[in-house]
Amino acid sequence: MAKSTTFFLLNCSLVLLVLFNGCMGQGRITKQGNQCQFDRLTALEPTNRIQAEGGLTEVWDTQDQQFQCSGVSVVRRTIEPNGLLLPSFTSGPELIYIEQGRGISGLMIPGCPESFESMSQQQFGEERMERGQMRGGSYQDQHQKIRHLRQGDIFALPSGVAHWAYNHGDEPLVAIVLIDTSNQANQLDKDYPRRFYLAGKPQQEHGQHQYRAGESQRGERGTGNVFSGFDTRTLAESFGVSEEIAQRLQAEQDDRGNIVRVQEGLHVIKPPSRSWEEREQRRGSRYNGLEETICSARLSQNIDDPSKADIYTPEAGRLTSINSFNLPILSYLHLSAEKGVLYRNGIMAPHYTLNAHTIVYGVRGRGRIQIVNSQGNSVFDDELRQGQLVVVPQNYAVIKQATDEGFEWVGFKTCYNAMIQTLAGRTSAIRAMPVEVISNIYQISREQAYRLKFSRSETTLFRSEGQAYQRRLDA
Amino acid sequence: MAKSTTFFLLNCSLVLLVLFNGCMGQGRITKQGNQCQFDRLTALEPTNRIQAEGGLTEVWDTQDQQFQCSGVSVVRRTIEPNGLLLPSFTSGPELIYIEQGRGISGLMIPGCPESFESMSQQQFGEERMERGQMRGGSYQDQHQKIRHLRQGDIFALPSGVAHWAYNHGDEPLVAIVLIDTSNQANQLDKDYPRRFYLAGKPQQEHGQHQYRAGESQRGERGTGNVFSGFDTRTLAESFGVSEEIAQRLQAEQDDRGNIVRVQEGLHVIKPPSRSWEEREQRRGSRYNGLEETICSARLSQNIDDPSKADIYTPEAGRLTSINSFNLPILSYLHLSAEKGVLYRNGIMAPHYTLNAHTIVYGVRGRGRIQIVNSQGNSVFDDELRQGQLVVVPQNYAVIKQATDEGFEWVGFKTCYNAMIQTLAGRTSAIRAMPVEVISNIYQISREQAYRLKFSRSETTLFRSEGQAYQRRLDA
Amino acid sequence: MAKSTTFFLLNCSLVLLVLFNGCMGQGRITKQGNQCQFDRLTALEPTNRIQAEGGLTEVWDTQDQQFQCSGVSVVRRTIEPNGLLLPSFTSGPELIYIEQGRGISGLMIPGCPESFESMSQQQFGEERMERGQMRGGSYQDQHQKIRHLRQGDIFALPSGVAHWAYNHGDEPLVAIVLIDTSNQANQLDKDYPRRFYLAGKPQQEHGQHQYRAGESQRGERGTGNVFSGFDTRTLAESFGVSEEIAQRLQAEQDDRGNIVRVQEGLHVIKPPSRSWEEREQRRGSRYNGLEETICSARLSQNIDDPSKADIYTPEAGRLTSINSFNLPILSYLHLSAEKGVLYRNGIMAPHYTLNAHTIVYGVRGRGRIQIVNSQGNSVFDDELRQGQLVVVPQNYAVIKQATDEGFEWVGFKTCYNAMIQTLAGRTSAIRAMPVEVISNIYQISREQAYRLKFSRSETTLFRSEGQAYQRRLDA
């Protein structure tokens, strides 16, 4: 009884908090002044490609006004089968959408136990290790929890937490990675993210864009990882190893880039059974707002699963949100996400987001997007295709329409509980106003006002009566 | 038992939070560096007037240093009887003081029910509406809660929530509207507020000030509302109405401005009985820190009612505060307010606000205000008259004195629980120090120190022994 | 039962909050863009000395990039025996480390009772005071709580709270004072702190540095305290005293500076018995996360006490942290601290701080510090000596090594629960990774990877196998 009362109170409080403030304690720090009018938006594609041994990183230009003004950076990573992304961390949190493939990832969270044990067949000859236990020629390894990645997952990474990822599938693992540089957690540069690698000698993803204008006091190629700058002898002593091994940490000779190829595949890790993930999901639905400990906190949720749609109109499409209510860790990252699917003829009602910018990435098909600013000017009216990206600023009104191919997108939002207000349909702002008010403000008869208010009975996603939108822009 | 224990804990926590941090999670982002010395303050009046069909909007210059450095904007709205302010929202929260008159306002909060029903006598002929129910020639309307506005109310508006207002009284409805652009909730420009209208074609209030220096890429007149920039056909489809009605939404031909006149008055809305407001107030006093749901959250509180004064000295005046303790929604807006009334001969003790700027607006009479900075320099020593405004920066010491007319002001504060420290009188900083310390720091005898510490037994508001302050500045 | 359940819930929530986000609601606002690369750090010493009658203030140059980019300012105060620091407050919170000596301090917290009473032998002749009570020629004084300062204390001062300090010991009282100007609580300049004095006519500590470049619209000498700028007559009326005493408040003639000498010592205050402090500490260990009221909140904790070390390796040294878990008020200041002691031959493992900058001040001996940025470049590799200071930016990797003198430092951190990730030793990031991953990312054999992972069994502090570090830099 005591418990449930408490829950009740905490929940009420949470609701108030989330519904009205939007982003308590957010304090996003972005470019200011006349530089950020958001008066002209364009569909953006990556401007830089960094090829590594085991995969590819495509980088959107961090200096673009849309990123500078929304305070985020985006890269698309393609990890080939058997590719291993070197461990790294950033000074701002990351929100990742797995566009394709499957893999595993390991996080290094300070203070969490090495709760996964594995046994290797590898023999070490005579030598006995100090800590690990040798059993009949093989050794036992212990490490922190391994997490699964699969198509459709939204994966949340707190800032400063190092992690690696490995593609153990048969097709490329493609991930859209958003880094929130304006996040309060980032006390370093707000202009571009810094990625700290724990191994290898990777090129900085955002480095060379940063210094277009000639300033090149920092090399175009990465000079190394966090170990590279230390005195080799000190490093060797710190680890209790030879200087030769310390040099390997510093990776002077490593030119494989940030994604390396594991020749024979990564064997030792025994991923839990397939049903493990289902259990994770089920556990999610019993979620009480407070995970048991941070070490076992759920960091991902699948956003592609049609059965979990929040809004569904059979003839128009579906919309799924992942926010602090279904993935609690997001309240600490101050980010959330939505996945939208519009069928041919589908329209997403005119709406605005009260408390967040939305970074819209085209996942499949093509959609026409119209965006309008506070002065009623159209700042974007164009198609967004698969692989393109556009920023919808906070409070700007937007309409999305599928082309005859249909349209799928993922939206990253700069608030842990981004909230939209629709302007047409049930639950819309128009429905909230008395007919008499509508009649007066739009100078129409009460009858017309009544029709304007009640014609659309669907919520958010509508089926267009006319033909699907056809691109006539370049005709 | 469980419940009360929990309350106790939550309350304790709240006290700690509010008392000491002041503004947890505030993160105000204002102009930085040498631009914001606050070294010379002046009493400001509106610099721009925007006349509309049904009323007037007077705008204080957002570019003025006092506003830029405190991160707020202020307008004064005068809505004539039967005037209707078009629905709009801003990217920062608003705190409104009703200086005169009475009216009603409707908010459009996403997810809240249309809980008010009204019946209209209007006949629609043969046609039957899809959703609304026709009963004997009249129709039934449903819309969200209507709220009352009356003189002395402080009204809190979360950012992004659209709202309209209507003057149903006999005298002009005058409102002082503060918009907190530096608020964390605002992820758009921190320099000036953006108002998004849902109807009409109003001029941007802060637009033309913004671009004094010649840049006029945006017209001086508003080009429209949030619907104006959409393709008319798409809009018509979204609402399921004809393109003619969609054009009315886009308001190409509307030149009535942001306040329109309702010819025969707004009839349909049946405001609740007079006692409803009293009930609201009573409910407020039972407030448990957690409103039932956001949809029924109290958004206003009367600050003029003498019976609710927090500090009252019969010979000097009274002071009333509205903060997160008596209007909980303010903790999400990060704003609060005070109302001060000084009688002839009244003095408000020298004091400073620990955790907030205070935007002081003269409501009645004239007062002399002295403001001193960290170096002991006087940065303001002048009269503030009705309709004028001055910003008292955080931590700056201030004394207010009534003239022989008396002085009334409202202060908007950039913290949900702004806290003042008085420097004279009971509860003052001087009272907190040992006499020996006072004696040593001011180089006075213990006897003098004793007198300095204990002479004034009143709290905050004193009666001057001499004559009322007379303006001799321009003599 | 109800109570414990509630605690459990609150604690869980707290853990999640603190562990993962680091600094909920921080929103630090520091210099942006290319100015803050932190690409070259240097050991800093104070650049300005302000001598006062009763002591000395040494000021680090606030304009230095390391301070501008971490958003803090630092001064070292030396209060001579019988010296009294005039009451003052700042617009950002202060975190203070008592390097030497002992004293007392009084805070003036609005709304808190005058809970200390003292009786003076001083006679006032015939006159009877209005408020105080005269008893047989002596008088009774009441004032707010007096707090003790002693070597090794970390003292937390909320922004805007005025306080004085007095050295009642026999040796100088030396305090390192960090002011967090980028703190959310500060709504004034983020570039340099403003100190408001309630008495005297002290020089602004950061004023003259601020205006090197010629702008001297503000004098190099302080023009006074918060009372100086008021009209003397108004001030006299406010306090109910003569204009002569009001002039003493304004301190026109006072040239003693910010620390004054108390000729016969400060007598009246009877500090509680020695055991009082022990009781305070014990109370701390029973701390329930919620202090009873803010007026009795614990504001200090000793960080030098070896028995309270968090990490201790007999051959290498010890490390103690003070954060929101053991000094709850820090969660409202968004600051924390660590004290490190490295014996001769001691090494602090390579590590980074996930969520805070660290301002490292050398307390004793000399240490070699190596700092590496995100590109693997060494940005600092030098000795830090007693009295010097260096800023270790968030996420930058760092190794500390004692010289043969040993090394002691105090670190101020810009987060209420700064969290480090070690890169070597038990609990390190390397331990969290599977051996197979280590082998692949560093291109070493599994055997070498195993050794790299398990060689060091200590946590954080290691004993160097070789000789203690000897400075060869200038050889």
- Look at residue B61 and tell me if it is in a domain: yes
Determine the average pLDDT of the residues in B222-236: 91
Q: Are residues A288 and A406 in the same domain?
A: no
Q: Is the pLDDT of residue C208 over 90?
A: no
Mapped onto helix, strand or coil, the DSSP state of residue A280 is helix
Where is average pLDDT lowest: A58-72, A456-470, C60-74?
A: A456-470
- How remote is the C-alpha of B458 from its chain's centroid? 29
Where is average pLDDT lowest: C39-53, C152-166, C209-223?
A: C209-223
- Look at residue B39 and tell me if it is in a domain: no
Q: Is the pLDDT of residue B163 over 90?
A: yes
- Look at residue A431 and tell me if it is in a domain: no
Q: Are residues A283 and A394 in the same domain?
A: no
The amino acid occupying position C236 is A
Question: Are C372 and A292 inside 8 Å of each other by CB?
Answer: no
At residue B281, the pLDDT reads 53
Mapped onto helix, strand or coil, the DSSP state of residue B248 is helix
Determine the average pLDDT of the residues in A188-212: 78
Question: Are B465 and C139 inside 8 Å of each other by CB?
Answer: no
Q: What is the pLDDT of residues B171-193, one digit of tens each?
A: 999 999 999 998 888 999 888 88
At residue A140, the pLDDT reads 79
Where is average pLDDT lowest: B58-67, C27-36, C153-162?
A: C27-36
Boundary-marking domain end, from A395, A418, A441: A418
Q: Are residues B61 and B208 in the same domain?
A: yes
Where is average pLDDT lowest: A300-304, C25-29, C256-260?
A: C25-29
Q: Are residues C333 and C285 in the same domain?
A: no
Q: Is A157 on the interface with C (CB under 8 A)?
A: no
CATH number for B363: 2.60.120.10
Question: Are A199 and C442 inside 8 Å of each other by CB?
Answer: yes
At residue B237, the pLDDT reads 94
Q: Is the pLDDT of residue C347 over 90?
A: yes
Indicate the angle between helix axes B2-16 and A2-16, nearest 10 degrees: 40
Range of the domain at B182: 48-109+144-222+257-295
Question: Are A429 and B162 inside 8 Å of each other by CB?
Answer: yes
Question: Are C374 and A195 inside 8 Å of each other by CB?
Answer: yes
List the one residue out of B74, B56, B70 whose CA is nearest residue B388: B74
Q: Is the pLDDT of residue B354 over 90?
A: yes
Query: ipTM higher than 0.85?
Result: yes
Q: What is the pLDDT of residues B395-433, one digit of tens each?
A: 999 999 999 999 999 999 999 989 999 999 999 999 999
> Are C122 and C135 spatial neighbours (Cβ–Cβ below 8 Å)?
no
Of C125, C234, C293, the CB nearest to B399: C234
- The nearest alpha carbon in chain C to A156 belongs to C20
Question: Which of A65-69, B368-372, C122-126: highest mean pLDDT?
Answer: B368-372
Query: Burial, A221: exposed, middle or buried (Cβ in 10 Å; 0-12, 13-18, 19+)?
Result: middle
Determine the average pLDDT of the residues in A229-250: 95
Give how far A355 is from chain B: nearest CA, Å: 6
Determine the average pLDDT of the residues in A46-74: 94
Q: What is the pLDDT of residues A311-358, one digit of tens each?
A: 999 999 999 999 999 999 998 899 999 999 999 989 999 999 999 999
pLDDT band at C466 (very low <50, low <70, confident <90, very high): low
At residue B5, the pLDDT reads 32
Q: What is the pLDDT of residues C240-251, one digit of tens each?
A: 999 999 999 999
At residue A208, the pLDDT reads 46
Q: Is the pLDDT of residue C212 over 50?
A: no
Q: What is the pLDDT of residues B22-81, one digit of tens each?
A: 554 445 666 655 578 888 999 999 999 999 999 999 999 998 999 999 999 999 999 999
Which is more confident, A474 or A399?
A: A399
- How many domains is chain A partitioned into structurally? 2
Q: What is the pLDDT of residues B285-320, one digit of tens each?
A: 444 433 456 788 889 999 999 999 999 999 999 999
Determine the average pLDDT of the residues in B155-184: 95
Q: Are residues B366 and B412 in the same domain?
A: yes
Which is more confident, B86 or A126?
A: B86
Q: Is the pLDDT of residue C342 over 50?
A: yes
Q: What is the pLDDT of residues A217-226, one digit of tens each?
A: 333 445 789 9
At residue C3, the pLDDT reads 36
Q: Are residues A105 and A166 in the same domain?
A: yes
Q: Are residues B277 and B362 in the same domain?
A: no
Q: Are residues C277 and C343 in the same domain?
A: no
Contact residues on chain C for B431, CB-CB shorter than 8 A: 114, 142-143
- Look at residue B322 and tell me if it is in a domain: yes
pLDDT band at C191 (very low <50, low <70, confident <90, very high): confident
Q: pTM to 2 decimals?
A: 0.88
At residue C66, the pLDDT reads 93
Of C143, C160, C267, the CB nearest to B433: C143
Mean pLDDT of chain A: 83
Q: What is the pLDDT of residues A371-381, one digit of tens each?
A: 999 999 999 99
At residue B210, the pLDDT reads 43
> Are C5 and A6 spatial neighbours (Cβ–Cβ below 8 Å)?
yes
Distance CA(A177)–CA(A77), nearest Å, equals 7
- Look at residue A347 and tell me if it is in a domain: yes
Boundary-marking domain end, from A268, A295, A322: A295
Q: What is the pLDDT of residues B436-449, one digit of tens each?
A: 999 999 999 999 99
Distance CA(C317)–CA(C338), nearest Å, equals 13
- Look at residue C69 and tell me if it is in a domain: yes
Where is average pLDDT lowest: A260-274, A343-357, C138-152, C334-348?
A: A260-274
Q: Is the pLDDT of residue A165 over 50?
A: yes
Of B33, B373, B401, the CB nearest to C191: B33
Q: What is the pLDDT of residues C85-117, one digit of tens each?
A: 999 999 999 999 999 999 999 999 998 888 777
Mark which residues 374-403 of C lie under 8 Å from A by CB.
374-379, 381, 393-395, 397, 399, 401
Contact residues on chain A for B109, CB-CB shorter than 8 A: 432
The amino acid occupying position A61 is D
Q: Are residues C325 and C409 in the same domain?
A: yes
Mean pLDDT of chain C: 83
- Residues in contact with A208: Cβ distance below 8 Å, sequence separation at least 6, in sequence order: A48, A220
- SS in 3 state form for chain C? CHHHHHHHHHHHHHHHHHHHHCCCCCCCCCCCHHHHCCCCCCCECCCEEEEECCEEEEECCCCCHHHHHHCEEEEEEEECCCEEEEEEEECCCEEEEEEECEEEEEEECCCCCCCEEEEECCCCCCCCCCCCCEECCEEEEEECCEEEEECCEEEEECCCCEEEEECCCCCCEEEEEEEECCCCCCCCCCCCCCEEECCCCCCCCCHHHHCCCCCCCCCCCCCCCCCCCCCHHHHHHHHCCCHHHHHHHHCCCCCCCCEEECCCCCCCCCCCCHHHHHHHHHHHHCCCCCCCCHHHCCCEEECCCHHHCCEEECCCEEEEEECCCCCCCHHHHCCEEEEEEECCCEEEEEEEECCCCEEEEEEEEEEEEEEECCCCCEEEEEEEECCCEEEECCCCEEEEEEEEEEEEEEEEECCCCCCEEECCCCCCHHHHCCHHHHHHHHCCCHHHHHHHHHCCCCCCEEECCCCCECCCCCC
List the one residue out of A322, A202, A344, A325 whose CA is nearest residue A260: A202
Q: Are residues A75 and A208 in the same domain?
A: yes
Boundary-marking domain end, from B245, B272, B295: B295
Percent with pLDDT over 70 in chain C: 77
- Look at residue A37 and tell me if it is in a domain: no
Contact residues on chain C for B435, CB-CB shorter than 8 A: 120, 139, 141, 143, 268
According to DSSP, residue A33 is labeled: G
Q: Are residues B333 and B379 in the same domain?
A: yes
- Look at residue C39 and tell me if it is in a domain: no
Question: Are C89 and B395 inside 8 Å of each other by CB?
Answer: yes
Of A1, A371, A433, the CB nearest to B87: A433
Q: Are residues B286 and B331 in the same domain?
A: no
Q: What is the pLDDT of residues A246-292, one digit of tens each?
A: 999 999 889 999 999 998 888 755 555 455 555 555 544 444 433 45
Q: Is the pLDDT of residue C214 over 60?
A: no
